[in-house]
Structure 1
Amino acid sequence: MTVPDASVAVELERLRGTVATGFAEVKGSLAVLVERSARNEQDLKQLREDTGKELDELRTDVEALNKNRCPLAAVGALTGVAGAATGVISLLVR
């Protein structure tokens, strides 16, 4: 009966080796996934910071453009007043 017991012990040892190898592969895969996840989080954080800086620059540019734009309402009012004055003058001169 020692032969079947030895056979079982050998098969159990092979099974243990297979399971250990499988666990090692799974641990390696998980380590790679954790590393990728950490790298993605860092990249996302950097992207958010860069995007925030660019948005702030764009806001500054838009505000500067709004301050320096031509006052169209004032120009329109002056044109209207000048047209009305010209009309009144032409009526009075005739």
Structure 2
Amino acid sequence: MTAPPDPTVNVAVELAQLRGEINTGLESIKGILNVLVERTTRTDADLRQLKADMEKEMDELRTEVNELKKGRWPLAQIGALVAVGGLVAAVIALFLN
């Protein structure tokens, strides 16, 4: 009859397989984390570029709005002058009758 196999050999083999599976899993996790870090870095760079572009556009729009404000007619003042002119015309018409 043959001697039964040594249980410590089986445990050592199982531990070696488990260690290999754990190392494979950790390498897979490291790879996924590296991809996520790269994406985050790229997203941060894209956001900085987008912010710079938006600030440039906003500055251009502010400049255009300020130029338009300088060229607009002062409608409130013109309205007040017309009202005063109408009042003067009404007073003159009142005294001439």
Return the TM-score normalized by structure 1. Answer: 0.82
Counterpart position of 2:16 = 13
Counterpart position of 1:59 = 62
Q: Which runs of 4+ in 1 moved over 6 A?
A: none
Task: Choose between structure 1 and 2: higher helix proportion.
Answer: 1
Unaligned regions of 5+ residues in structure 1, if any?
Answer: none
Worse-matched range after superposition: 48-57 or 14-23:
48-57
Q: Are 1:45 and 2:27 matched, yes or no?
A: no
Q: Once the two structures are superposed, what CA deviation does each residue of 1:7-66 show, in whole Å capped at 9, x if it has no partner? A: 222112101111110111110111011011101111111121111112112211221121
Root mean square deviation of aligned Cα: 2.0
Q: Percent identity?
A: 50
Structure 2: distance between partners of 1:87 and 1:16: 104
